[in-house]
Amino acid sequence: MFYTNVSNKCFIISPELIFKEPIMSIWKKDDEDDSQSDINETEKKLLDAAEELFVQKGFDGTTIRDITEKAKCSVAAINYSFGDKKQLYIELFKIRLKEMRKTRLRAIEIAMEKGKKLTLEELVKSYCHAFIEPFSDSKISHMAIQLFSRELAEQILPRNMFISEVSAVIESMQKALMTVCPGLSKDDARMGVISTTGQLVHIMQVRILFERANQKFNIDQAINHIIKFSAGGIRACIKGNKK
């Protein structure tokens, strides 16, 4: 995911959007997903509890005791399973980023199976829907934006972690664009991926603002606009390269 620099107050969801009742984890868990195959039930409880608390209170505002009380586990369980609070936090993001990476890579792979019949718009559409799908539920989207925005502001994770986790998706989509669009340079393809991703992140943030004001936001319409806008920009790059 790509973000611009923000202060501690930017894109932080107001308290009324944080749910007081037990909630689902931000991303659905799949028992057959190899990203979670080595996680036992206690670790899942700790991760889910920590996820919600980090959203509500941030990393520094959440204590180990807060997490263990919510998960109904002993303090020793965190030390045994993760070592400390920071390692738990890192593991949470690794799992979530891996889940998103797997979804997006699979979407690109399926799209490319069409071969020469695949259009640029169809490829971009596949990527957009794979990007948005985990956040299709508005409450889940609020939580996701809150979690990632807090990390951007607090910067707890290792510096290169986000880039290392998303680089495979960028490279895969970059190659796909160059295959579908002969004449598109590697740099333009890469910027096309980054630009499209930035637009998707932005519409998720905008949707929250609209919903906070009790106004409807048509996410499908927004995605269709991004598809047309991105495809048009990519084709313009090809024309520019031919001059």
DSSP per position, 131-186? HHGGG-SHHHHHHHHHHHHHHHHH--S-TTHHHHHHHHHHHHHHHHHHHHSTT--H
Percent helix, percent strand, percent coil in the chain, to nearest 5: 70, 0, 30
Exposed / middle / buried, residue 67 (Cβ in 10 Å: 0-12, 13-18, 19+): buried
Q: What pLDDT, on a 0 to 100 scale, did the predictor assign at position 106?
A: 95
Which amino acid belongs to residue 2? F
Higher pLDDT, 11 or 169: 169
**When comparing pLDDT for 184 and 36, which is higher?**
184
Please tell me the distance from the alpha carbon of residue 150 to that of residue 6, in angstroms, as a whole number: 10
- Rounded Cα distance between 17 and 78, Å, is 28
Residue 181: pLDDT band (50, 70, 90) is very high
Mean pLDDT of the chain: 82
What CATH superfamily classification does 15-242 receive?
Tetracycline Repressor, domain 2 (1.10.357.10)
94-112 pLDDT per residue, tens: 888 888 899 999 999 999 9
pLDDT over 70 for what percent of the chain?
Answer: 80
Confidence (pTM): 0.76
pLDDT at 195: 96
pLDDT, one tens digit per residue, over 205-223 is 888 888 888 888 898 999 9
Can you tell me the distance from the alpha carbon of 15 to that of 7, in angstroms, rounded to the nearest whole number?
18
Between vectors from CA 180 to CA 121 and to CA 185, what angle results, nearest 5°? 110
- What whole-number distance in Å separates Cα of residue 72 and Cα of residue 51? 15
Say which residue the tokens 């991703």 belong to. Answer: 197
Q: Give residue 138's pLDDT band: very low, low, confident or very high (50, 70, 90).
A: low
Judged against a pLDDT cut of 60, whether residue 1 lies above it is answered with no
Count the Cβ atoms, other than its own, within 10 Å of residue 224. 14
Q: What is the pLDDT of residue 187?
A: 96
Q: Among candidates 163, 148, 15, which has minimal Cα distance to 89?
A: 148
Residue 37 has pLDDT above 80, yes or no: no
